[in-house]
Amino acid sequence: MKKILFDLLALQDVDMKIRGLKTRLAMIPKERENFEKELAAALSSIKAKQEQIKNVELNIRKTESEIAKYDESVKKLQTNSALVKKNNEYQAMLSEIEHNKEKISNLETDLLKMMDRVEAMRKSLKEEERQSVAKIKTIKEELNELVVLEREIKEQGRALLAKSKEFATHVVPDLLDQYNRLLKDSGIPAVKLNGEICGNCNFKVTPQTRNNCRSGNIVFCDNCSHMLYCEKPEQD
């Protein structure tokens, strides 16, 4: 293999690694976003259930307060009824006492239902928290791994970039300009000639291009203009 080709392929190998690192690095923000969404969803679900429990507990306290209020009213009415002498006033008090007792009964029924409900909600929350602990831990570990990966990729990228600049000094300037142009257009600048077929566009090259390549020279595809080389030229 001629030195001009060896130097070019050495540079391309480094640049392809840099491109691969850039591609992987570009994926990290989206991966991080997805993990953060998962984490937020897990925490949000728990928070929502905690809020629901707080609301039910608040209603329980309000109901208990109402029961206490009506119970106190019944006691006062019962005490005052003993002092009433008029029958119609006495009957009105008895009616109000019965009405308040009915209110108390209904409120106590509601209270029992709410207490059963909040107990079930607490059990459900406890189970979800138990399951979420492992999930949240895994997500946080994944996020930490992304931080480490991002740092490692950037470190590798800096090292490879320095190597690329060094290797570029070994490539003939005119050839380097053409190489850089192809590199910017994506794809692989220098590809193998497979028989008579370009490794980039899969079109057949002319016999002259083929023969020049087989002689160990770097040639250009007649169709896509990518650099072509023969892995085993007829002569070095």
| Global confidence as pTM | 0.70
- At which of 169, 185, 219 does a domain end? 169
The dihedral built from the CA positions of residue 163, 166, 171 and 172, taken in this order, carries a sign that is positive
Model confidence pLDDT, tens digit, residues 72-84:
999 998 888 877 7
CATH of residue 162's domain is: 1.10.287.1490
120 and 211 part of one domain: no
50 and 112 part of one domain: yes
Enclosing domain of residue 197: 174-229
Model confidence pLDDT, tens digit, residues 137-159:
999 999 999 999 999 999 999 99
Report the alpha-carbon distance of residue 199 to residue 31 in Å, rounded.
33
Model confidence pLDDT, tens digit, residues 168-217:
999 999 999 999 999 998 789 999 999 999 999 999 999 999 999 999 89
32 and 128 part of one domain: yes
Report the alpha-carbon distance of residue 18 to residue 12 in Å, rounded.
10
Contacts of 55 (CB under 8 A, 6+ apart): none
- At which of 128, 149, 169 does a domain end? 169
Name the one residue in this structure whose structure tokens are 């106590």.
108
